[in-house]
Structure 1
């Protein structure tokens, strides 16, 4: 159910979901010729959107901690989940940051 919700939320996301602050940061990166950074900022914004949407749907069933550690813990089983964009850089960053954690990936 969580993977389905992650996939659905990712499909709903679009540039219209960016905050003004996110839009400015992306525009500034593009103006500076840092298109890679603009794309990274956009993917991070999409990830935050997906996390919030899934949390809204499942917070009555699961424990969410979107700022540190794993994103979701199923209190009934103890299973830990991380919501990831599935890009190579995103997987590498999480792999380094959470090397000692065992979690299931929910990718979009």
Structure 2
């Protein structure tokens, strides 16, 4: 005498609505929207950062890299960010399309 309701997970009314409104390909990934998973997405990188920082203190590098100077990551980040920002204008000129590229609007917007 087994109760079939105990073996099947029950869905809340909110979850039923989410499944009904979601694209069929998205249904297996709806668990990513739960509050528990969202909180975990900040915990995992935080734990990883702390762990590898401690490992770096326990086992320091024996050979310094050429870019290991004072504020090296700030300089590298600034140069990289500047490159991305300054490359926006040439990329816009290269990839931009005129306003009427897709034809005149049919009014079905």
- Same fold (TM > 0.5): no
Q: Tell me the TM-score normalised to structure 1 length.
A: 0.25
With normalisation by structure 2, the TM-score equals 0.24
Whichever of the two has the greater Rg, that structure is 2
Higher share in strand: 1
Larger helix percent: 2
